[in-house]
Structure formats: structure tokens, C-alpha cells
């Protein structure tokens, strides 16, 4: 082949490459739409009153039965980036509203399916996106005209609204139990006319009993039992409660060191020093008037050792150890106390007061209940019960949805018709 012929074929190859490059974006869009539609179709059958529950089995053999969209998508092993966006969309809906996690994914899948048809007709993606935004703004205006105001003092109406969100759940037969708990809990922690945080509601799950045994506690529940070693106290009336963040155990250096003891005399001296060190800490705690001690969990060393528990039991101080760091803020807000970071700051002003602290048997395990709290903060504790782990987990998820529904009503006191009425009104308008 001559050089001239080679030159004449080069532009043809280049134009073919350009053509393949121009077609690639449309192929990527098509792939994204197909992946997102597959996620939407996977949970479409769990939507609505006739929706079916999904049984999901993990690799380790654990089984989950639910129709909650966020839970189903969280269990799915999604790889495609576009499909992951729908999973994140469902998570965002769960955080913001608590319900509608399935609806938002199904709606997004339907919009992508409509976009696919418009793209095949040659309409530019930007025009489609802008049209969807204008339609969404118009739909919001229509929904505002359909909305009716809700009286937040009408608890019967609020219970009916909460029951509606529970009717499609696995535990729908217990809606008469869970709905009043959700309404009373949210209204109890309202910080203002439009302010409420679900972080002020603590939900503790305990296996045993039935969902009917679920109850709201006007106090504090801790998923920990009291320390029973060395004859520890299990019940304390007229409690003065301290929450400490320091350890009651022999001190350790920041670096690994080795202590060499040459004879028994030195060993005996070390043990006596440790004993006196711990005893002095316990005496200072008792001196401040504290008779109930909550101890935060430590990752560096033992938060409290057996010798300290022995001294605390001798001085009739009830001890609950291994309090998690993320529990401290809620406990302090409930008890109206402050966490104590060092022994130097341990004084009566840092303590909380309650009528009763006791260990309670729940099924095969125990929890600690604090009631009669003086100057209690705006917090609430809920004990959820269930006959097995599947029912217990689903009861917690259903209760969370009901709590979120009432929270949304507190923020925006409006109600729109259900049963697909808004979706029927928007297209006709």
C-alpha cells in the first residue's frame, strides 16, 4: 500500500473513533437507568397495604424479615454506582422523614423509566431534568392546597396517624400498643412549638415477652445490670447518682514498662499502695454523698477492678459499669447532672437525684431502671419487647417510623389524604 493510500484511510479511522466516543455517554446513561430500575423493581412489591414482606438471609445465615425499604436496601449488596445512589436516597429519606423509604425509590425508578423514553426521542437530559424540577415545584403547591391543619392537642387524631404508618408493618396487630407510645414520647420531648429531636428518646430492646409488653418509662433505662460481685447493691432509694469518666483501678503509665520485684516485701508494698490508692478514691466518692455510681467504659485499662467493687459494696454504693461514650450525653440530660472527668471535680453539685434505682429482670437478662428523677430533662425511654430477634428488630423499626411521623407533624402541622389521592390529584392539575 502506498503512503498516499495510508494517509487517505487515516481520517476514516479517526472519524469512526469519534463516532464511538459520541455514542458512549448514551450507553452509560442507559446502563445507569437499567441499574437504578432494577433496584426499584426489587422492592416495588413491598409497597402499599398489599405489599409483601421480604426475607433476607445474609452470608452468615442471619435472617431478616421486613418490608422497610431502607432495611431491605441496606442488606442488599449493591455494586453499581447509580444503584448505590438510590440506596443513599432511601437512607436520606429514612433520616429526614423516617417513612416513605420504599416509595421514594419506586418513584425515582419510575421517573428514570420515563426519562429513558424521552431520551430515546432525542430530548436533551438537561431539558428533562429542568422539567422534572418544575413538575416537583408544581406538585408541592398542589399538595399544600390539599393539606388540612392538625391540632397537636388532639391525641386521638395523632394516634390514628401513627397507626396508619404501622398498618403495613409485620407488627401491625400491635399498632394499638405502639401508636400511643410513639405519640406520648414525641410530645414529651418537644423543646418548642416546632422543635423535637429523636435523640432525646432512648429505645432499649430486650428479648422476651411479646410486643404488647412494650412500655414507655418516665425515667432512664440502661442496658446494663448492676455489678453483683463482692455482694454489690441492686436497689437504692433516695439515690444520689454520679457519672464518672475516670477509672477506679491501679494507675498505669502511658508506655509499656516492666516493674521488677526482687522479694516478697516489695510485692507486698506494691499491693498495699494499690489498695490504699483505690480505697482513697472510694472514700472521696462516699464523702460527696454519692450512693449510685455510673462508670464510663475505658479502652486503656479496667474502668473498675474487683478490689474497687469490693470497697464500693462495703460502702453500700450501687455500681453500673461499662457505660458507652455515646450514652453519656443522654444520661446527663436525663438526670440533670454533669460527667465527672477526675476525682478532683467530684462534688455534690455534679450529682443527679432520683427516688429509685433498681435492677429489673427482663426475660433472661437484666437492665437498670432509674425512676422518680428530680428536675428530669426532656427525655424519654422506651423498652421494646419481642418473642424472638426477628420480631424484636421489626418492632423497633416500626416504632421508629411511628416516632418519625409524629416528629414530622410537630415540625409541619399539616395532613394530606392517603390511599394515592395526592398522586391522582397532581397529574389532573
pLDDT digits (tens, 9 = 90+) for 124-149: 989 999 999 998 898 888 888 888 88
Residue 64 designated active-site: no
The catalytically annotated residue of 66, 102, 334, 379 is 102
CA distance 354 to 239: 5
CA distance 69 to 73: 6
C-beta of residue 296 within 8 angstroms of C-beta of residue 323: yes
Residue 102 designated active-site: yes
Residue 19 pLDDT class (50, 70, 90 cuts): very low
pLDDT of residue 69: 84
**Does the pLDDT at position 14 exceed 60?**
no
Q: Which of 3-7, 46-50, 55-59, 184-188 has the highest mean pLDDT?
A: 184-188
Residue 203 pLDDT class (50, 70, 90 cuts): very high
Class of domain 151-250+262-412: alpha beta
Residue 68 designated active-site: yes
Element (DSSP H or E) covering residue 353: strand 352-362
Residue 164 designated active-site: no
Q: CA-based diameter of the chain, in Å?
A: 105
The residues spanned by each domain of the chain are 16-123, 151-250+262-412
**Does the pLDDT at position 2 exceed 50?**
no
**Does the pLDDT at position 414 exceed 90?**
no
CA distance 402 to 356: 30
The catalytically annotated residue of 101, 214, 362, 379 is 101
Tell me: the pLDDT tens digits for 275-332? 899 999 999 999 989 999 999 988 877 888 888 888 898 899 999 998 999 999 999 9
Using CA atoms, how far residue 376 sits from 204, 206, 215, 389, in Å, is: 19, 24, 19, 32
CATH label, 16-123, candidates 1.20.120.1760, 3.30.70.100, 1.10.560.10, 3.40.50.620: 1.10.560.10
Tell me: the pLDDT tens digits for 237-276? 999 999 999 888 887 766 666 777 777 887 788 788 888 9
Summarize the confidence of residues 13-29 as an average pLDDT.
62
pLDDT of residue 364: 80
CA nearest to 233, candidates 320, 131, 333 = 320
Q: Which of 18-32, 235-249, 405-419 has the highest mean pLDDT?
A: 235-249
Tell me: the pLDDT tens digits for 97-116? 877 888 899 999 999 999 99
The catalytically annotated residue of 64, 66, 68, 214 is 68
Using CA atoms, how far residue 223 sits from 78, 226, 229, 368, 397, in Å, is: 34, 10, 18, 7, 18
Amino acid at each position: 500500500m502506498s503512503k498516499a493510500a495510508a494517509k487517505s484511510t487515516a481520517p476514516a479511522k479517526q472519524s469512526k473513533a469519534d463516532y464511538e466516543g459520541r455514542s458512549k455517554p448514551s450507553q452509560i446513561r442507559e446502563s445507569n437507568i437499567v441499574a437504578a430500575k432494577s433496584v426499584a423493581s426489587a422492592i416495588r412489591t413491598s409497597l402499599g397495604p398489599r405489599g409483601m414482606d421480604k426475607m433476607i438471609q445474609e452470608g452468615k445465615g442471619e435472617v431478616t424479615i421486613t418490608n422497610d425499604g431502607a432495611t431491605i436496601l441496606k442488606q442488599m449488596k449493591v455494586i453499581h454506582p447509580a444503584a448505590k445512589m438510590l440506596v443513599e436516597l432511601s437512607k436520606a429519606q429514612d433520616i429526614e422523614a423516617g417513612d416513605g423509604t420504599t416509595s421514594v425509590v419506586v418513584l425515582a425508578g419510575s421517573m428514570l423509566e420515563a426519562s429513558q423514553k424521552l431520551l430515546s426521542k432525542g430530548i436533551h437530559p438537561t431539558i428533562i431534568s429542568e422539567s422534572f424540577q418544575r413538575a416537583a415545584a408544581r406538585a408541592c403547591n398542589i399538595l399544600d392546597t390539599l393539606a388540612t391543619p392538625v391540632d397537636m392537642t388532639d391525641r386521638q387524631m395523632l394516634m390514628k396517624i401513627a397507626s396508619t404508618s404501622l398498618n403495613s408493618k409485620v407488627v401491625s396487630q400491635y399498632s394499638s400498643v405502639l401508636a400511643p407510645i410513639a405519640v406520648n414520647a414525641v410530645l414529651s420531648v418537644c423543646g418548642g412549638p416546632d422543635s423535637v429531636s429523636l435523640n432525646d428518646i432512648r429505645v432499649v430492646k430486650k428479648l422476651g415477652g411479646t410486643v404488647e409488653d412494650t412500655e414507655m418509662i418516665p425515667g432512664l433505662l440502661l442496658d446494663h445490670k448492676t455489678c453483683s460481685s463482692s455482694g454489690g447493691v441492686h436497689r437504692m432509694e433516695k439515690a444520689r447518682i454520679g457519672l464518672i469518666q475516670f477509672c477506679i483501678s491501679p494507675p498505669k503509665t502511658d508506655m509499656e514498662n516492666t516493674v521488677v520485684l526482687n522479694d516478697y516485701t516489695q510485692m507486698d508494698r506494691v499491693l498495699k499502695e494499690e489498695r490504699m490508692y483505690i480505697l482513697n478514691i472510694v472514700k472521696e466518692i462516699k464523702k460527696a454523698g454519692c450512693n449510685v455510681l455510673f462508670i464510663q467504659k475505658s479502652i486503656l485499662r479496667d474502668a473498675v477492678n474487683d478490689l474497687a467493687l469490693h470497697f464500693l459494696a462495703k460502702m453500700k454504693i450501687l455500681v453500673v459499669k461499662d457505660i458507652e461514650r455515646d450514652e453519656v450525653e443522654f444520661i446527663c440530660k436525663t438526670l440533670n447532672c454533669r460527667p465527672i472527668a477526675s476525682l478532683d471535680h467530684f462534688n455534690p453539685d455534679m450529682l443527679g437525684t432520683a427516688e429509685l434505682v433498681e435492677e429489673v429482670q427482663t426475660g433472661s437478662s437484666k437492665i437498670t431502671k432509674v425512676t422518680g428523677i428530680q428536675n428530669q430533662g426532656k427525655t424519654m425511654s422506651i423498652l421494646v419487647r419481642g418473642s424472638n430477634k426477628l420480631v424484636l428488630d421489626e418492632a423497633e423499626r416500626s416504632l421508629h417510623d411511628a416516632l418519625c411521623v409524629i416528629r414530622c407533624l410537630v415540625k409541619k402541622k399539616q395532613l394530606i389524604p392517603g390511599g394515592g389521592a395526592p398522586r391522582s390529584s397532581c397529574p389532573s392539575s
